[in-house]
Structure 1
Amino acid sequence: MNKETSLKKIGKQTVKLKNPPKIIAAYSIVGPKEGEGPLGSYFDEILNDDLFGKESFEKAESEMLYTAITAAINRANLKEDDIDYLFAGDLLNQLTSSSFAARKLNIPFFGLYGACSTMSESLSVASMMLDGGFGSYVVAATSSHFSSAERQFRFPLEYGAQRSPLAQWTVTGAGAMVLAKEGNFPEVTYITTGVVKDYGIKDPNNMGAAMAPAAVNTISMHFKDTGRNPDYYDAIVTGDLGKVGKEIISKLLLEYGYDIRSNYYDCGDMIFDDTVQNTDSGGSGCGCSAVVSTGYFYKKMLRKEIKSILLVSTGALMSTTSSLQGESIPGIAHAVAIEFNN
């Protein structure tokens, strides 16, 4: 390991960025149900209908992602040609939402798949690209859509299947962040890359339980690698564990000696009011942590209401094929430390 690398890689899974990239702009767009939820006032754009004027839900999702990316670039007072790389992903087969959005953009594109962990994954890779000196401006983005995900992973919408109390509601939304080398903005300081964990959960409706072990591993390794404690952060934020997974992770981390209960939030638990909106265990999907981080938490940081968050987007790495073959559900979680001390 050379000297430059040793300055950045700390511990087993964490990178300390030498030149922390700044998040100079962000944009969030959500569907009607998300707009009616507790965080509605924080989102930049709320759709009147989840087809977004398109012929299919899949086309609507791609248009949402394209809108989030271009709006974030405009908000940063940049042009498309200024962006060196686009990192984006979604839940659909072959990343069609991201790829079809990228085909309308003249920006070098990396398509990423981390299931619902993709927002932190795209932000991680984008930040390392900038820290490595491989560009001046990059975009990290992701999306999901309830209707496109539901009919890919579960049942046709017309089937009207009864939902399990453990089930989560895939968020219709897209979020994008523009990163730059300079500026007085929140910055990415540490990245803890997750490892795949599988504790044998096979119920595709119980994704919170499937993803919780991966989140526990990533969060505990982040603290171990950095030497930080839970109270360092104003908010420790998981992506979409929902009510079930949130309870599991709080208990499991106590066994590791970390009590996060006073400053722990889950995007899936926050985005809906389950008693009013009938969302069972809460929200899920790539778009869940994307819109809550770009909408709610980024605005909180700009307003100096919070100074630091640990964003831990979580993903269930299943497919329709693996579930039908009786496979268990592997989980992944990636953590990104975002700080704003100015």
Structure 2
Amino acid sequence: MGSQLGEQTIGFTKPPIIVGYGNVVGPKEGEGLLKQYFDQILEDSLWGEETWEKAESKILKTAIQLAIDNAKITKQDIRYLFAGDLLNQLTASTFAIRDMNRAFFGLYGACSTMGESLILASMAVEAGYANYALAATSSHFCGAEKQFRFPLELGNQRPLTATWTVTGSGAVVLGQTGTGPRVTHVTPGKIIDLGIKDEMNMGAAMAPAAADTIITHFKDTGRTATDYDLIATGDLGSVGKVLIQDLVQKEGYDLSRNYTDCGVEIFDHKKQDTHAGGSGCGCSAVTLTGYILKEMAKGTFNRILFVPTGALLSPISNFQGETIPGIAHAVAIENGQGLGKKG
């Protein structure tokens, strides 16, 4: 069984193994900086469906199957599925999974959901409750804009602090046995709210939570930034990326050497007009299952800290003048070969 470390972290005695993973992205993501890492790129965002929401369910269902195929198992081998999305009542996940006939935990951590699902799936596998568990999430630009901001038909102008919700889904299969990188430590995050109310500046709202989780992880484990080849937050974008480095620096930790943000990596913001970068549940999920894990397979990275970030707001809370609480979850993934080529 795993052990409690410090205030929030778990260190796994028998680290769960990432035995398979897969992803699907939309056309804009397929034109971005990470296009060579994606398993399936759609020609259009509807993908033959009548609505954006149905398209998102199809994207998630396909990513899950790709991960299962990559693990060389069947869906019957999956004991538990942990998944969530940004739609009301998690309908993208529910309708994607409803025909799989497997036990399902529906999760909502906003854009931190890939971290939440990885943590819970890892805990289930390490504790012996499942031989295989699957963690997944998804988002869709058109569905998220309609739900959280403005219908696309209005053509509202977006400020430069705004991010672009990723259309895509990533899924990971964790197993007790097999080959692949291992989840060695997890640090679930706390809700941090510094009073940000601007829904067009999610980076500022989430950066304090990401900083808190990373600092806590370092204190709990005794590690520092130099113990990782790569530290990647979920979707702070260019604005939040600057803020988190300043916040962490104040506590004596330097992220300048090996830190990036999935929202910065996924798009070419100048050519693609994505302003501050990418966001959404799918942002960190497809970057993990695309760029990060595939580079780990090459040995470019051998120890990474994956920190998906989430803004815990709703349209109702925003209209009522509430602030935007943030949360971030950290997952340490290691090849077991020390630090990598870029360490």
Does the 8 Å contact 2:245/2:256 carry over to 1?
Answer: yes
Residue 118 (str. 1) matches residue 113 (str. 2): yes
- Provide Cα deviations, 1:267-286, integer angstroms capped at 9, x if missing partner: 00110011100000000000
Residue 188 (str. 1) matches residue 183 (str. 2): yes
Q: 2:205 aligns with which of 203, 210, 227?
A: 210
Residue 74 (str. 1) matches residue 69 (str. 2): yes
Q: 1:141 aligns with which of 126, 136, 144?
A: 136
- TM-score, with structure 2 as normaliser: 0.97
The aligned counterpart of 2:318 is 323
The aligned counterpart of 1:277 is 272
The aligned counterpart of 2:87 is 92
Q: Which amino acid aligns with 1:185?
A: G
Distance 2:66 2:248 in 1: 38
The aligned counterpart of 1:224 is 219
SS of residue in 2 equivalent to 1:32: coil
Does the 8 Å contact 2:18/2:179 carry over to 1?
Answer: no
Q: Which amino acid aligns with 1:204?
A: E
Residue 152 (str. 1) matches residue 165 (str. 2): no
Distance 1:20 1:87 in 2: 18
The aligned counterpart of 1:101 is 96
Distance 2:134 2:27 in 1: 25
Does the 8 Å contact 2:193/2:326 carry over to 1?
Answer: yes
Distance 1:86 1:100 in 2: 13
Distance 2:5 2:234 in 1: 24
Q: Which amino acid aligns with 1:53?
A: G
- Deviation, structure 1 residue 80: 1.1
- Deviation, structure 1 residue 184: 2.4
Distance 1:80 1:255 in 2: 47
In structure 2, the gaps of 5 or more residues are 338-343
- Provide Cα deviations, 1:68-88, integer angstroms capped at 9, x if missing partner: 001111121111111100000
Distance 1:336 1:249 in 2: 17
SS of residue in 2 equivalent to 1:247: helix
Count of matched residue positions in the alignment of Structure 1 and Structure 2: 337
Q: Which amino acid aligns with 2:272?
A: Q
- Deviation, structure 1 residue 233: 0.3
SS of residue in 2 equivalent to 1:59: helix
Does the 8 Å contact 2:132/2:176 carry over to 1?
Answer: yes
Question: What is the RMSD of the two structures over their aligned residues, measured on CA atoms?
Answer: 0.7
The aligned counterpart of 2:340 is none
Distance 1:35 1:76 in 2: 24
In structure 1, the gaps of 5 or more residues are none
Q: 2:12 aligns with which of 17, 33, 36?
A: 17
- TM-score, with structure 1 as normaliser: 0.98
The aligned counterpart of 2:23 is 28
SS of residue in 1 equivalent to 2:28: helix
SS of residue in 2 equivalent to 1:87: strand
Point out 4+ residue stretches in structure 1 off by more than 6 angstroms: none
- Provide Cα deviations, 1:188-226, integer angstroms capped at 9, x if missing partner: 000001000000000000000000000010000000000
SS of residue in 1 equivalent to 2:309: strand
Q: Which amino acid aligns with 1:169?
A: W
